[in-house]
A and B are shown apart, each in its own frame.
Chain A
Amino acid sequence: MGGVVAKAATRTNSDQLHGTLDMLVLKTLQNGPMHGYAIAVRLEQLSSEVLQVEEGSLYPALYRMEARGALSSEWGVTDTGRRARFYKLTRAGKTQLADETASWVRLTAAVQDVLGA
């Protein structure tokens, strides 16, 4: 029997992540097209497994971003020969990422200032 892989004490609350999920997904896709599972894994890796969202909630978020034109998608084949839908950043998505990143940096800097005062 194995154990459950989790870091409950240090994991970020998914509610806290919800508002920034779009930005994180866009950032993850900046390096090229990826399918949903790869995006989830990449998010964990980049955040040293601190950021763990309910993985299924990634898909409605992907669909919403695609509907808004920030992403485009097409079916493809993975390295292991499985069929998967790959998501790609569009020009509008790159603009949205830049805007949201700038806004996030301003917000965190302000919060940091308050906390450090």
Chain B
Amino acid sequence: MASLFRTLHRRLRALWRRDVITDEITDEMVFHLDQRTEALERQGLSRSEARRVAMRRFGNVARLRDEGYEVRGGGFIETVWQDVRFALHLMQRRRAFSIAAVLTLALGIGLTTALLSVVDAAWLRPLPFPNPDRIMTVVLTTDERGEERRVPPSQTELRLLRRASQVVAAIGEWHGWPQRQVLDTGEPERAKVLQMSEGYVEVYGVAPILGRTLMESDGRAGARPVHRRANAATRRGDNHRRWRPSAGVPSQRPNLAAEGDNARTCRPARFRRRRVSAPPAGHQRA
């Protein structure tokens, strides 16, 4: 680590002392050549011959000076700094071209980021549930005059599917409702509401932290409506603070403005149903 800091310090210092370092290296090599020349002269060589021999024994001065500067100079930091200065100089001289280049880059980066974000969310990042590759969307379609249309399953159809299927571990239905006003503890609150059938929570393998999951009897005609949780839209987590596990099953009922209801369960904070345009493992039609 000390060596790294020493190298960095030397490289940065060289950015402002390039000439000094180059001169020092040159002085050192010239001193060497002078000393060798004088020694050869003392052995009987002429001045010019001694210098020639000294130069040959020393090697290529320019190459060795550059090689020495690679070690003692700014190195890659200096190269980057020179590139940046050159680029800024060019940008100043050719502004229209620079603006076009920057906008093109920005557009390209933005599009790539957006595309990769979608790919990541839709395909790469695993869903936050057990065995996400086994979760799929089931679509019921009907053929009316040669036109294929999606239709929501009835409760009866769901029950039939659940009982008849040998390959599905759980199956549930959901409907997203628009935001509604929730009358909770006397303070009106806007919340996102999701209507779901029994089996929906089991599909995601998430257990409620309070109360129970929905049962088949909850979906039958005449059964009391059961609200699992009103998910606060603007203050996410409020319900978890209000309906924390230590508080037990809430005694106060979160009343939807449009319907009377009865809060029975509360799902864990990590549970967030992810909306995906296509299921990760395939799209099964029934």
Contacts and interface: CB of A to CB of B under 8 A. Distances in A.
A66 B150 CA distance: 76
Interface residues of A, number: 26
Given A56-B59, A57-B59, A60-B70, 16 more contacts: A2-B46, A5-B53, A35-B28, A36-B32, A40-B32, A55-B57, A56-B61, A59-B64, A60-B64, A63-B71, A64-B71, A67-B6, A67-B71, A69-B3, A69-B6, A82-B35
Contact of A63 (B31, B53, B58, B68): B68
A84 B72 CA distance: 17
Interface string A27-60: 0000000011100110000000000101111011
B46 to A, nearest CB: 7
Given A63-B72, A68-B3, A56 B28 contact: no
30 contacts: A1-B46, A2-B43, A2-B45, A4-B53, A5-B40, A5-B43, A35-B28, A37-B36, A40-B32, A54-B59, A55-B32, A55-B36, A55-B57, A55-B59, A56-B29, A56-B59, A56-B60, A56-B64, A57-B59, A59-B28, A59-B29, A59-B64, A60-B64, A63-B72, A67-B71, A69-B3, A69-B6, A83-B31, A84-B31, A85-B28
Contact of A84 (B2, B28, B45): B28
A73 to B, nearest CB: 10
B49 interface: yes
Contact of A60 (B43, B57, B68): B68
Contact of A59 (B3, B46, B57, B68): B68
Nearest to B38: A80
Nearest to A35: B31
Contacts of A41: 39
Nearest to B64: A56
A17 B66 CA distance: 22
Contacts of A83: 27, 31
B253 interface: no
B77 to A, nearest CB: 14
B32 A37 contact: yes
B2 A69 contact: yes
B44 A59 contact: no
A25 to B, nearest CB: 14
B7 interface: yes
A4 B44 CA distance: 10
Contacts of A84: 28, 31
A43 B40 CA distance: 17
Nearest to B55: A56
A1 B49 contact: yes
**Residue of A41, A67, A68 contacting most chain B CB atoms (<10 Å):** A67
B238 interface: no
Contacts of A66: 72
A2 B68 CA distance: 32
Contacts of B25: 59
Contact of B44 (A2, A40, A60, A68): A2
B264 interface: no
